[in-house]
Amino acid sequence: MPSVTQASSHVFALPVGPLLRRSPQDPHYRVWELLETVFDPELPVVNLRDMGILRAVRDTAQGLEVVLTPTYSACPALNQMVDDVAAALARAGVAARVSVCLAPAWSTDWMTPHAHEQLRAFGIAPPQGCATAQSGHSVLQFAPKPDVAVVCPRCGSAHTTCVSPFGSTACKALYRCLDCAEPFDYFKPY
Amino acid sequence: MHIDYLLHLGDNALILGQRNAQWCGYGPALEEDLALANNSLDLLGQARLLYQHVAQLKNDGKTSEDLLAYWRDVPDFRNYTMLELPHCLALHPGAVAERDFAVTIGRNFLYSALMVLVWQALATSRDAQLAAIAAKSLKEASYHLEHARDWVVRLGDGTDASHMRMQAALAHLMPYTQEFFSASPMETAAAQAGVGADTSLLKTQWDGLVDDTVRAATLQRPASAGFVSTGKLGVHSEHLGYVLAEMQCLARAHPQAVW
């Protein structure tokens, strides 16, 4: 298993929250635009910036650095994403290294509204509610689970039920629509 | 240096991840097969991050995550004994271990209840990389705890048979939880350096989580008395050797193999 380079997180603070498309005034606009075409291999409709995985393009003493953050600790797609970014940069003749930074920890709150639309169109219900506000603490008191209605991406019905809290990948849960009867993936708030 | 402490955290994740992966293809329902495999994958991810961190701290040109996972033997591992036990109640000699879902769930519950508290404490560790790993792992441990807790309640407050088996599983596992809170030089040193978590300070909260769930499940909380296991000191049960044999045989048969 190849290990990935750790970014020096204590030297630069990384942004928190969704990152929107850069303006042409941004010094690294060309690199950002180039990476618009790199997608999450598990979700081939959402690019890495919309997913919140692409965190920074920055100048360092060792040259240009592109920083990614993993979704889940063991996301098997991470190495592929690092390779895809490196390949896209190489194809465009951009000299940059790709590194991975764990902190601050990725959250589904960092996905852009555009990512939500793309997921829904792809048949996956986007995460609902704010994940970071309730992280960790809610489970300590075993509070009753918040009654957030997960909306079926196919027919739009809120009349759905959780079949399994663990789905086809670490980031998804399995749901079923009680109106159109179709099963669907739900991107769980994280 | 707190290398042993990081190995303790990483070994806990790797060994329980390996154990839970033994349910792959045998889950009581497809959804549970997926759930336990997902849980394993999260634990494997945590172990990898911790081993990569150890390799980076050692920086000796030979330590790597693969070396730590595949080329160490039983006395080098620092995981809690509870995590290496087979998925069954205590066996008489010669008995064949079956997978007992109540034991699997009971163990995941007791361990993730601890780890939610430990990761939360470690999120402010002086080791910035460990703090980053903790912040990620906390989200995963919370989800594992919710899953295991739901099952403890469902089985405890279920049929007479499921109640009896869940109670027996807790009685089997509870004595091993003493190791969560027993002092060890490796943990004390890490806590004093502001790097590690002092689990003795987390015990009241852990007790609260366990009592709360046991009550909701209509179970009795068994005593955690008797022999205090010593896996985290490198002195393991007879079961770890078998776990390692299965986990390491491929890497040892084909050293340096790459995908």
Measuring CA to CA, which residue among B165, B144, B143 is closest to residue B154? B165
Q: Report how far apart, in Å, the C-alpha atoms of B192 and of each of A63, B57, B121, B183, B198 are.
A: 39, 19, 13, 12, 9
B115 touches chain A (CB under 8 A): no
pLDDT at A98 over 80: yes
pLDDT at A1: 38
Contacts of B217 (CB under 8 A, 6+ apart): B152, B153, B155, B156, B157, B166
| Residue of A17 and B187 predicted with greater confidence | B187
Length of chain A: 190
CA dihedral sign, ordered B11, B16, B19, B24? negative
Q: Do B48 and A1 touch (CB under 8 A)?
A: yes
Mean pLDDT check: name the lowest of A10-24, A148-162, A174-188: A10-24
CA dihedral sign, ordered A39, B143, B32, B83? positive
A165 touches chain B (CB under 8 A): yes
- Which helix (DSSP H) or strand (DSSP E) does residue B42 occupy? helix B30-58
Q: Do A3 and B65 touch (CB under 8 A)?
A: yes
Residues of chain B under the 70 pLDDT cut: 92-97, 259
Cα(B18)–Cα(B248) distance, integer angstroms: 11
Q: Do A103 and B44 touch (CB under 8 A)?
A: no
For residue A73, list chain B residues with Cβ-Cβ distance below 8 A: 42, 45-46, 48-49, 133, 136-137, 140
Q: What's the mean pLDDT when you consider all of chain A? A: 86
Domain range annotation of chain A: 29-108, 123-187
Q: Do B52 and A74 touch (CB under 8 A)?
A: no
For residue A133, list chain B residues with Cβ-Cβ distance below 8 A: none
pLDDT at A190 over 90: no
User: B44 with B19: CB under 8 angstroms?
Assistant: no
B127 touches chain A (CB under 8 A): no
Rounded percentage of chain A residues whose pLDDT exceeds 90: 62
Contacts of A70 (CB under 8 A, 6+ apart): A53, A78, A100, A102, A106, B136
pLDDT at A147: 61
pLDDT at A132: 64
Mean pLDDT check: name the lowest of A32-36, A138-142, A184-188, B107-111: A138-142
Q: What would the pLDDT profile of A126-156 be if each residue is shown by its tens digit?
A: 998 777 655 444 444 454 455 678 999 999 9
Distance from CA of A133 to the nearest CA of B (A): 12
Q: Do B45 and A165 touch (CB under 8 A)?
A: no
Q: Mean pLDDT over residues A92-106, rounded?
A: 92
Q: Do A139 and B39 touch (CB under 8 A)?
A: no
CB atoms within 10 A of CB B129: 20
Q: Mean pLDDT over residues A46-61, rounded?
A: 94
Q: Do B39 and A10 touch (CB under 8 A)?
A: no
Report the predicted TM-score, pTM, of the whole model to 2 decimal places.
0.89
Domains of chain B (ranges; CATH) run: 3-88+95-253 (1.20.1260.10)
A170 touches chain B (CB under 8 A): yes
DSSP state of B173: H
CATH superfamily, with its number, for domain A29-108: Fe-S cluster assembly (FSCA) (3.30.300.130)
Report chain B's terminal Cα–Cα distance, integer Å. 33
Report the SS3 class of residue B88: coil
pLDDT at A34 over 60: yes
Which amino acid belongs to residue B197?
Answer: A
Report chain A's terminal Cα–Cα distance, integer Å. 26
ipTM over 0.95: no
Distance from CA of A33 to the nearest CA of B (A): 29
Measured between CB atoms, which of B45, B55, B131 is closest to A103?
B131
pLDDT at A7: 56
User: A127 with A113: CB under 8 angstroms?
Assistant: no
Q: Do A9 and B132 touch (CB under 8 A)?
A: yes
Measured between CB atoms, which of A72, A104, A135 is closest to B45?
A72
Cα(A134)–Cα(A136) distance, integer angstroms: 6
Q: Which chain A residue lies closest to B67 (C-alpha atoms)? A: A1
pLDDT at A76: 83
CA dihedral sign, ordered B71, B77, B83, B88? positive
Contacts of A117 (CB under 8 A, 6+ apart): none
In DSSP notation, B102-118 reads HHHHHHHHHHHHHHHHH
Task: Tell me, rounded to whole angstroms, the distance of Cα B66 from its chain centroid.
Answer: 19
Q: Return phi, psi of residue A27, to 5°.
A: -60, -25
Cα(A85)–Cα(B249) distance, integer angstroms: 34
Q: What would the pLDDT profile of B41-51 be if each residue is shown by its tens digit?
A: 999 999 999 99
- Which helix (DSSP H) or strand (DSSP E) does residue A51 occupy? helix A48-51
